[in-house]
Structure formats: structure tokens, C-alpha cells
Amino acid sequence: MRANLIANVALTDEIAKRRTFGIISHPDAGKTTLTEKLLLFGGAIQKAGAVKSSKITDHARSDFMEIEKQRGISVATSVMGFNYRGKKINLLDTPGHQDFAEDTYRTLTAVDSVIMVIDCVKGVEIQTEKLMEVCRRRDTPVLVFINKLDREGRDPYDLLDEIEGKLNIRVHPLSWPIGMGKRFKGVYSLYERALHLFEGSKLTLSEGYKIADIHNEELVSLIGDNEAAQLREDVAFIDGIYGALDEEAYRRGEVAPVFFGSAVNNFGVRELLDCFLDIAPPPIPRETESRLVHPEEKGFSGFVFKIHANMDPRHRNRIAFVRVCSGTFTRKKPYLHTRLNKEFKFANATAFMAQDKEVIDVAYPGDIVGLYDTGNLKIGDTLAERELGLYKGIPSFSPEIFKEVINLDAMKSKQLDKGLKQLMDEGVAQLFTYELGSRRVVGTVGALQFEVIKYRLEHEYGAKCNFAPQKIYKACWIESPDKKKLNAFVDSKYRHIARDKDGKLVFMAESKSWLQMVEENFPEINFHFISEF
């Protein structure tokens, strides 16, 4: 009895220490640079360096795939863990490029909150709006970092209005800029009631000068008459409009706290991180098909949200990323694979600092565990200590671009098949195999994904292929309560019927008008643009 009580207290303490979040943004807003600076504060890396700095040859820590290094973009989610102020931080850096949005959507199912980076020059961009829709679907708490204050950007009030208007969420500024671009002198922290002065373009961890009372005459000597008067006016206005932050509204996803800063100069990052630790939620309960699972429950459970093959090109390994949802994960202990109804043991459980891995013996709710796998796990799978319904899955969305796979070397057909299967298991793209002729069509949300697939097939599997464009508007997953009518539909549209990698029936519609006509002519068939229905 006493041992169980001690174990429960220990689990509760570990849960309270965890903060698991993702960083999201439109491309080039500074997301990967911010990630790097957060790692600096956690001691996970020792050197500050701008991603694009010509003086520093190291690539951003989180961009470990060769193609990412060549193009300077993130095309796969990186998982990084570090400790800061007595908390265990699990940070998931996501692809900013819209062509890899599905990987980001899946990653957002594994986090408890997000930090959204917005460029102060460009404001809210299209990809930012799409990402916010995914967050809103799950009521994920969002904290906003308005970046690049060292450049001439938009008026702060205009940026706040745009965030509220385009992202459909109330904002609450917790810091305020003093000038911008060449006139940028620092920020006033409304959360700490402290002044932080900008010290110029130095890649340092300097906290700057602080002054708690903006009505102190010393403020004038620090930033000047005009700036002091403007800051006092701004703070009075903001306090009057916004008042104190409603932390519960933030945790419900209704209010987005906003910080201003410059990630490349490491300015405003510490204030962001400190506030985040104070207000962001620890691991939250999660829905399965059967019930709501709380992190404090004794039995371990978790789900696979990402699979990555060949993280180390020297060893053809395949790692499944598992979000721990409840209980304590213990290495070498048998766990039930819910979909296969079979128990598995995992001797090599790892934690990540980008591409660096270390073996761990235990993990707690909120942690991300890497499990070496030979092909038994796929995205959406649930592992549990005892019988438990699947965690509500990670859906696939109908792709935007479709191309047929053309094998360029018949002698490497097996390698091509293996590569396609593993890359599809990772969720890089979707594969549809036609019932007629077994033609294989890859569907993606962006053209750049085809380049990644070709590169990885050649360099990781030794298989070469081309992609032939297809005239396809949408891939629609189909089902019907009347099996006879479903079979009749499949027979009548046989040339346009395919199966996804899980064997689900898919109708490949060639145009929007044709799809509408087919839907009208076959009202007993249900057409879905998302695989989870």
C-alpha cells in the first residue's frame, strides 16, 4: 500500500514537471532559429548561431536530414528534450514549409500546447492560418512570438488586430516593443513588469537592463524622452484594454498570449520561455475510442505519431515516435499493441536531442520515446499496459497533387517497393494502388515532397524513379452501410477505384464537377476527404 502511494506521488510529480509543445510557423518566420535559442537556455547546445549566418558553419541543430541541410528548410519533425528551471521540456520542431504540412498536423496531436512564430514584417501568412485551424480543432493552447523586431516591421497594434482577425483568436500582449528596426531599443515585459534593453546584434545570452517602474525618471535616461512617453502611453492603454491574463482561457485555447522579440539576436526569448513554463499546461487527458485517459493513471499507454526510417544512414533503422499519455513506460516491459492484439517488448527505447539519441529506462506522460521497430508499428497505433481502445487517430487528408510512380530500374523493384512502403509509413506522402493494373499513385500536399521522395529512394534504398502527373482532383475514401450498393459502385467505377496503404477503398475523382455528379447519382455512398471517419 505504502509502495503504491509513493509510486503514485512520484508519477504525479513527474507529470507536473513536463511541458510538451510544438513550434509552428510559416516558412522563414524564424521558427528553427527560435528553437535553437530555446535549446541554448536548456543547455542542450553550447553555441548560439543563426541558421543562415555565414560565420557559423554548423547547420541548425534540428535539421538533420541531408536534404534539409541542402535547402535550408525543415522537412521532418525533430524531437528535442532538455531541462530548464526544474522542468523537463519536450520540444517538437515542425516543418514550416507548407508542402510538408501533414507531418506538422500529425505532430500537433502529440503536443499539449504550441508556440506560433510570426514575422513582424510579413504578419499572418497563409500557412499560419492553416496551422491555427488545426490547433483550433483540438483547442490547443497557443502562445505567439512576434519575431524579427530588429527589422523594420508592421505596427504592433496592426499585428495584434491581424492575428485576431485572421486567426480567429483573442490576443493578450505580455510584452511590448520599444521601437522597431534601427530604432529598436528593447521590450517592456508586461508579464514581469520589467524593462529589457536591446544590446545590438550580439549572439549572446545577455538579459539586458531591467527597470520595474516605467514611471521612474531613470526610464528617460535609458530610452529617451519620446520613447519613454510612448511606452507609458502604450502600457496604460494595454492594461486598460486587456487587464490581467486569464490563464484558464489560454489553456482552453481561447486566448493567445503575445510576446515580441528577435530570435536571431536571442532577444525576448528568455521572457517567452519563462512565461511559457509558468502558464503552459502539463500533460493533458486524451481521448481513446472507449474513454478519456488521464496521465495520472497507473497503466502505461501511448500512441505513435511519427515514424522515421534511416535516421542514421549507416544503420537502416526505423524508429517510431511514441507520445506517452499515461502511467510509466519501462524499457523491456511487454506492452499490448492494440491494433495487432499482440504484446511487444522494446529493448532499445531512446530519447532525442535532434539526431542524438540516448537509451532510457523509463519515460513519463508528456515524454516522447523512440522505439526501434521492424515494421510492426504504424502512425496512429496505440501501445498500452492493458486492454485499451485506440487513441483517436491521426487522420490523412486528401492530397493536392497526384503523380504515378515510374520505376526506372526493373532490377531494383524490391528496393523501390520497400522504400515506398517505409516512406508512406512515415507519412511523407500517401500511396494509392489502383485495383485495375496495380498502378501506384503518390499523393502529396506540395510539389517539393516528390523531390524529397526521389532523393530518399535513391540515396537510402538505391532505387530510382520518376513521377508522371495525373489528372486527379481528389482522393475520396468511400463507405456505405449497404455493402451490395458499395460493391456495385466499385464495379461501375472500377477504373477509378484504388486502395490506400491500409487497404481502404478510395475513389479517385478526376474533377470537382464530376465528383459532384457522382455524389448526386450515388446518394447511398459516403465520400470522405479525410481517412478517419
Please determine, for residue 200, whether its predicted confidence score (pLDDT) is greater than 70. Answer: no
Label each residue of 191-257 as H, E or C: CCCEEEECCCCCCCCCCCCCCCCCCCCHHHHHHCHHHHHHHHHHHHHHHHHHCCCCHHHHHCCCEEE
The pLDDT assigned to 327 comes to 96
| Rounded Cα–Cα distance for residues 519 and 381 (Å) | 32
List the domain boundaries for the chain: 2-279, 286-384, 401-528
The pLDDT assigned to 74 comes to 44
Instruction: Indicate the average pLDDT of the chain.
Output: 85
The pLDDT assigned to 402 comes to 97
Radius of gyration from C-alpha coordinates of the chain? 25
Angle at 478 between CA 472 and CA 480, to 5 degrees: 155
Of 493, 289, 533, 489, the residue nearest 396 (C-alpha) = 533
The pLDDT assigned to 487 comes to 95
Q: Is 501 exposed, middle or buried (0-12, 13-18, 19+ CB in 10 A)?
A: middle
Q: CB–CB of 514/527 below 8 Å?
A: no
435 vs 68, higher pLDDT: 435
The pLDDT assigned to 319 comes to 84
| Rounded Cα–Cα distance for residues 508 and 473 (Å) | 8
The pLDDT assigned to 396 comes to 75
pLDDT band per the 50, 70, 90 thresholds, residue 82: confident
Please determine, for residue 65, whether its predicted confidence score (pLDDT) is greater than 60. Answer: no
Percent of the chain clearing pLDDT 70 (strictly above): 85
Please determine, for residue 136, whether its predicted confidence score (pLDDT) is greater than 90. Answer: no
Fold of the 286-384 domain: Rossmann fold (3.40.50)
pLDDT in tens, 449-459: 898 899 989 98
Q: Does domain 2-279 have CATH number 3.40.50.300?
A: yes
| Rounded Cα–Cα distance for residues 403 and 445 (Å) | 12
Please determine, for residue 5, whether its predicted confidence score (pLDDT) is greater than 70. Answer: no
Q: What is the DSSP string of 21-45?
A: EEEEESTTSSHHHHHHHHHHHTTS-
- CA 288, 95, 368, 376 dihedral sign is positive
Cell numbers for 327: 502511467
Q: Report the DSSP beta bridge partners of residue 370.
A: 321, 350
pLDDT band per the 50, 70, 90 thresholds, residue 73: very low
The pLDDT assigned to 311 comes to 53
The pLDDT assigned to 368 comes to 93
- Can you tell me the mean pLDDT for 330-339? 93
**Ranges of H-type helices in 387-530:** 413-426, 448-461, 483-492, 512-521
Please determine, for residue 309, whether its predicted confidence score (pLDDT) is greater than 80. Answer: no
- What is the enclosing helix (H) or strand (E) of 435? none
The pLDDT assigned to 203 comes to 43
Measured in residues, the chain has a length of: 533
Q: How far is CA 57 from CA 27, 201, 310, in A?
A: 21, 18, 24
Q: Which of 74-88, 227-241, 263-277 is the least confident region? A: 74-88
- Hey, what amino acid is at 361? D
| Rounded Cα–Cα distance for residues 160 and 22 (Å) | 22
Cell numbers for 522: 450515388
The pLDDT assigned to 56 comes to 32
| Rounded Cα–Cα distance for residues 335 and 324 (Å) | 13
Q: Is the pTM of this model over 0.85?
A: no
| Rounded Cα–Cα distance for residues 498 and 405 (Å) | 14
pLDDT in tens, 95-117: 655 555 667 778 888 999 999 99
| Rounded Cα–Cα distance for residues 233 and 240 (Å) | 11
pLDDT band per the 50, 70, 90 thresholds, residue 378: confident
Label each residue of 128-179 as H, E or C: HHHHHHHHHHCCCCEEEEEECCCCCCCCHHHHHHHHHHHHCCEEEECEEEEC
Cell numbers for 73: 528548410
Fold of the 401-528 domain: Alpha-Beta Plaits (3.30.70)
- Judge whether 286-384 and 401-528 match in fold: no
468 vs 51, higher pLDDT: 468
